[in-house]
Amino acid sequence: MATQSGKDIVYKFYNCRILKNHKIYWDDLWVRDGTILDPQKCFYGEVINPDVKVDCGERLIAAGYIETQINGAYGVDFSDSHAADLHDVERGIMKVAKGLLSHGVTSFCPTLVTSPPAFYQRVVPHIKKREGNSDGAGILGIHLEGPFISKEKKGAHPEQFIVSDLTNGSSSQPSHALEEVYGNEFYSNTAIITMAPELPGALDVIRQLTNMKDIRVSIGHSVGTIKDGEKAVLAGANYITHLFNAMLPFHHRDPGLVGLLTSWKLPKDTEIYYGIIADGIHTHPATMRIAHRTNPNGIILVSDSMCAAGLDTGNYSIGQLSVEVKENKAVLSGTNTLAGSIAFLDQCVRKFYKDTECSLVEAIEAATLHPARLLKIQDRKGTLDFGSDADFIILDDELNIMSTYIAGECVYSGG
C-alpha cells in the first residue's frame, strides 16, 4: 500500500473504474508523493514504470468525501463547554477525524453550534486547519453555525446565546460584532459561517466576510423571505445550511430561502450551494427529489451528525442542550425537535442515491466535487484531476467504503 514516507515512489492502481470529469471510466490511477499523476508524462516525459501496483478488483475509485457540517460523533461534542481543557477539545476532534476515515471522509469542517462567547474565544483558536493523514481526516476550517441566527428557527441552539443584531460595530468594520463573540482570531481558522440574512447588519457582515479569501457565508436558521435570501446572495453568500430544515416552509406566494434554487433575481452565473441531510429523518425522499431535480449542481450532502453518531441509543448533549437518541433519531430531551443526526456521510450518499434515483456520479459528486467548489479548493480536493491531492476512496457497487487514501497513503481498509 502507498505510504507517505515513500517519496518519489510511483503507485499504479489498476483494474478499476474511476470517477473523473463527471463520468466513470475504466482506467488506472497513478500516484506519486501524495499527488495524482498524469500517466502520459510518466510514460513519455520521464520514461518510468510504477514501483508498486495495487489491484482494485474492478471497484470504483472516487475522490474522498468532504464533510461541511458535522457537530461530533463517537461521544465527542465539538461544542462541549464542559471539556476539561483544550487538550480534551483537540483529542476529541482527532478522535472524530480518525473515525471518519472508515466512512470515506478525507476532509471535514468541525461545526460549532450556538455557544457563549467565552466558549468560542477559548476553543476557536485551537481548532486549526490541518492536512489529513493516518491519524485522521484533514480539517478545512470550522463551520460556525451560529449564534447569529433567528430565535424562531433556532432548532437545537440555546436561545439565551443567540445574537439577533449585527450592528454593534462601526460602519467601516461591521464584523466587529463577530469579533466580540468569536474573538479576534476566528478569521484564520474558519471556513463557513451560518447566519440568518434578515438580521439587522447581516448584509454588511456578509459583504465583508465574502471579500476574504477563505470564508464562505451560509444562510440558514432563518425566517427570511426569498427577498432576504436574494439580498444575501447578491452580498456574497453562496450556501444554504441544511435546506428545508430550520427555515420557513415553502409557500407558493413566498417560497422563502428554498426559492433561491430557481430565483430569476440573481445573475444567471450565480452559484448557489445547499446542504441536504439525507439521513432518512430530516428530509423526506420526495423533498430531496424536488431539490435535486431543481438544482442538481448545487446539492451538498452533509451528515449534521452529533456526538451519538456511532454509538447506541441513550442520553447525550449538543452544546448546551440535552439530547435523547431513540427510534434512530436525535431529539432535544422532552421534545420532538431534531438535534442533528446520528448518520455518517457515506450513509447519506447511499440514502440519497437510493431515494432520488440519481446517477452514481451525481450522488458521489454531491459529497466530493460540490463541497470542494463551495470552499474553492477544487484545484486540489474533491476531484481526481492530474495534480490534485491523492485523497480518494475505493467503493463497491453498493457504495460501501472499501478503502480510504489520503495523500496516497491507505489510512483505512475494510475489505
| In CATH, 65-375 is 3.20.20.140 | yes
Q: Strand 60-63 vs strand 392-395: parallel, antiparallel, or unpaired? A: antiparallel
The pLDDT value given to residue 1: 45
Cβ pair 170, 176 in contact under 8 A: yes
304 is catalytic: yes
Q: What are phi and psi of 135, to 5 degrees?
A: -80, -15
Nearest alpha-carbon partner for 194 in 168, 169, 225, 163: 163
The pLDDT value given to residue 171: 47
> Is 284 known to sit in a ligand binding site?
no
Cβ pair 201, 178 in contact under 8 A: no
The pLDDT value given to residue 150: 97
Q: Cα separation of 395 and 358, whole Å? A: 17
Domain(s) labelled CATH 3.20.20.140 in the chain stretch across 65-375
Cβ pair 289, 301 in contact under 8 A: no
Tell me the pLDDT tens digit for each residue of 321-340: 899 998 888 999 989 899 88
Burial 38-57 (b: 16+ CB within 10 A, else e): ebeebeeeeeeebeeebebe
> Is 253 known to sit in a ligand binding site?
yes
pTM for this prediction: 0.95
> Is 366 known to sit in a ligand binding site?
no
Class of domain 10-63+383-413 as given by CATH = mainly beta
Q: Cα separation of 142 and 108, whole Å? A: 9
Q: Which of 304, 346, 355, 391 is catalytic?
A: 304
> Is 242 known to sit in a ligand binding site?
yes
The pLDDT value given to residue 173: 62
How many C-alpha atoms does 119 have within 13 Å on its Cβ side? 19
Q: Strand 10-20 vs strand 52-55: parallel, antiparallel, or unpaired? A: parallel
The pLDDT value given to residue 212: 79
Ranges of the chain with pLDDT below 50: 1-5, 170-171
> Is 180 known to sit in a ligand binding site?
no
The pLDDT value given to residue 4: 42
